[in-house]
């Protein structure tokens, strides 16, 4: 397996990081806004964000004094293609992925 796939799957293995990704499906967010719903320090959230960025799943950009995070939707493409090799998986559909995360209670309800 491609080493970059190992990094993506390792990043996705953590429920906090999956929840962060589901939050970023909605829109770009400041790091402080990403951290708000979690009961952990900003430093801990920053470590999770660094892992997601290292896996190419998000990008981070400094705008003035604020660091913003954005989902990189193409980052899951390689993992999706690899899973398709088993013939059981469809390509990753981000809308369906978001619905799945909502059903699992990993993202806030719209409203």
- Say which CATH number the domain at 21 has: 1.10.10.10
Provide the pLDDT confidence category of residue 111 given band limits of 50, 70 and 90. Answer: very low
Report if residue 43 sits inside a domain.
yes
Specify if 86 maps to a domain: yes
Domain contains 39: yes
- Residue 55 domain-assigned (yes or no): yes
How many folded domains does the chain comprise? 1
Is residue 110 domain-resident?
no
Domain that holds residue 16: 3-101
* pLDDT tens, residue by residue, 60-93: 999 999 999 999 978 788 888 877 777 665 666 7
Location of structure tokens 């959230």: 45
Query: Does the residue 109 lie in any domain?
Result: no
What's the 3-state SS for 19-87? Answer: HHHHHHHHCCEEHHHHHCCCCCCHHHHHHHHHHHHHCCCEEEEEECCEEEEEECHHHHHHHHHHHHCCC
Please list, in sequence order, all residues whose beta carbon lies within 8 angstroms of the beta carbon of residue 66, skipping any fewer than 6 positions away.
30, 31, 32
Mean pLDDT of the chain: 85
pLDDT, greater one: 17 or 75: 17
In a domain, 106, yes or no: no
């Amino acid at each position: 397996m491609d080493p970059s796939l190992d990094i993506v799957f390792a990043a996705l293995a953590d429920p906090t990081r999956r929840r962060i990704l589901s939050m970023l499906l909605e829109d770009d967010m400041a790091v402080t806004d990403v951290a708000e719903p979690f009961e952990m320090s900003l430093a801990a959230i920053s470590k999770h964000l660094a892992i997601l960025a290292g896996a190419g799943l998000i990008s981070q950009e400094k705008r003035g004094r604020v660091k913003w995070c954005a989902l990189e939707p193409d980052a899951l493409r390689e993992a999706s293609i690899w899973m398709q090799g088993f013939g059981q998986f469809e390509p990753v559909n981000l809308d369906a992925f978001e619905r799945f995360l909502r059903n699992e209670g990993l993202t806030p309800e719209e409203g």
